[in-house]
Each structure stands twice: as C-alpha cells, then as structure tokens.
A and B are shown apart, each in its own frame.
Chain A
Amino acid sequence: AQTVTQSQPEMSVQEAETVTLSCTYDTSESDYYLFWYKQPPSRQMILVIRQEAYKQQNATENRFSVNFQKAAKSFSLKISDSQLGDAAMYFCAYRSPIFGNEKLTFGTGTRLTIIP
C-alpha cells in the first residue's frame, strides 16, 4: 500500500516571502500521479498542482512549483511571493494510474500561516 508523509504539521511565512512544504511517499508502482491540495477554512478541497511521475520536468502553476525527486520519492511544494489567501491546510496526495482506482492517499497535512 502507498503511504504519504508530511513531516511539517505547521509552517509560517512572511507575506511576499517563499516557503517550501515537504512531502515524501512510498510506493512500488513506477507510474503514478502526485498532487498538492489546499483546504482553506471553508474546507473545500482545491487542487493546487499535479505531477505525473513519468514527467521529469517539475510542474509549475504561477506562484506554485514542485520539486519532484522520483528516486528519493520526494515531492515538495514551493510557494513564491506568499499571499494572505495562501493560508490554509495543504495536503500532499498520491494516486495510482489505474483507471477506476483514482482514490487519493493523503498525507497528514501542513497548516500554513501567512504573517502580514
């Protein structure tokens, strides 16, 4: 079974600064998907960024980027120019590539606080 580990229960960053959230995972599959989801106080899960394991290039979405190290099974999220609206719980998640088995395995989450 796959496992996802987030070792930082809480992080804080000054507004406009950069912060990196860590995530490691364990799997025996060679192909898979990795995601970062954001959960603000409304508790709506919002996709931040995704990475396909077969792609060597790190995914980027505006101020959000990942550092995907497949051999190390590491998938960190970097948030640049942090904004107040980035404050939320961030969950790293793993997904098998098999159609019909799109369930996500989540890490325990990192609560990100933005300091004005």
Chain B
Amino acid sequence: GAVVSQHPSWVICKSGTSVKIECRSLDFQATTMFWYRQFPKQSLMLMATSNEGSKATYEQGVEKDKFLINHASLTLSTLTVTSAHPEDSSFYICSASPPPTSSGANVLTFGAGSRLTVL
C-alpha cells in the first residue's frame, strides 16, 4: 500500500531558529501533498496544500512567511517553520494520495507526524 514517510518525528529547537520537516511518498508520486497541524487533544487543521512545481496554497489565517512549503519533486514536500517561537510548538502531519489510476487512489495516507517543541 501507499506509504508516506515524515522526518523528523520529534524536534526541539530554540526560539528564533528555523526547522525543516520532510514528507516523502515512498512508493508513489504525489503531485499534491497536504500539511496539517494538530494541537493537543484537538482535531487536524489543514495548513496548506503543497503543489509540485508551483506555489503552495495556504489556508486562511496561516502565515506564508512563517510556514514555508516547498514541493520540488513528485515524492518530496518540505515544511520549514521559520523563526520559530513557542506558540509554533505543535504536532505537524503531512499526507498524500496516490494518483487516480492507482489502487490506493482517493485515500489520503498520512505520515507519522512531527512533534515540534520550541523552547
């Protein structure tokens, strides 16, 4: 089945530094990937849609300059949290869906998530 790998699973950084999170589709090509954010005991909130070869589409209220998304290849999307502050501490999850012609189409597969703690 479709597998999405996310790295790192846990990162701690100092306030003011930047952190990059990678999301890879291991056995399929994904022209579109999605980044979600989840606060403790809450649901997943879509942050942005990552489009291969073009700019990401951000949801209302999400700062583009704070959360930089790059989707340079069909198997890799990255989320960079720039100048991180304690309020950026959260659980970030990426997801992707295999192409319509594949057996896993129409089902989003999720990475294992990345827990970011900003000190």
> Do the beta carbons of A102 and B93 come within 8 Å of each other?
no
> Is A99 an interface position by the 8 A CB rule?
yes
- Chain A residue nearest to B44 (CB atoms) is A106
> Do the beta carbons of B106 and A33 come within 8 Å of each other?
yes
- Tell whether A100 pairs with B43 under 8 Å between CB atoms, given A33-B106, A43-B112: no
In this complex, how many residues of chain A approach chain B with their Cβ under 8 Å: the count is 23
- Tell whether A44 pairs with B49 under 8 Å between CB atoms, given A100-B32, A107-B43, A108-B42: no
In this complex, how many residues of chain B approach chain A with their Cβ under 8 Å: the count is 23
> Do the beta carbons of B107 and A103 come within 8 Å of each other?
no
Partner of A50, one of B43, B46, B91, B107: B107
- Chain A residue nearest to B100 (CB atoms) is A99
- Tell whether A104 pairs with B95 under 8 Å between CB atoms, given A33-B106, A44-B112, A45-B110: yes
Contacts of B75 in A (CB 8 A): none
> Is B25 an interface position by the 8 A CB rule?
no
Task: Tell me the A residues contacting B by CB distance below 8 Å.
Answer: 33, 35, 37, 42-45, 47, 50, 52, 91, 95, 99-109
Write 11 A-B pairs (CB below 8 A) sorted by A numbering.
A33-B106, A43-B91, A43-B93, A43-B112, A45-B44, A45-B110, A50-B106, A102-B97, A102-B106, A103-B34, A104-B95
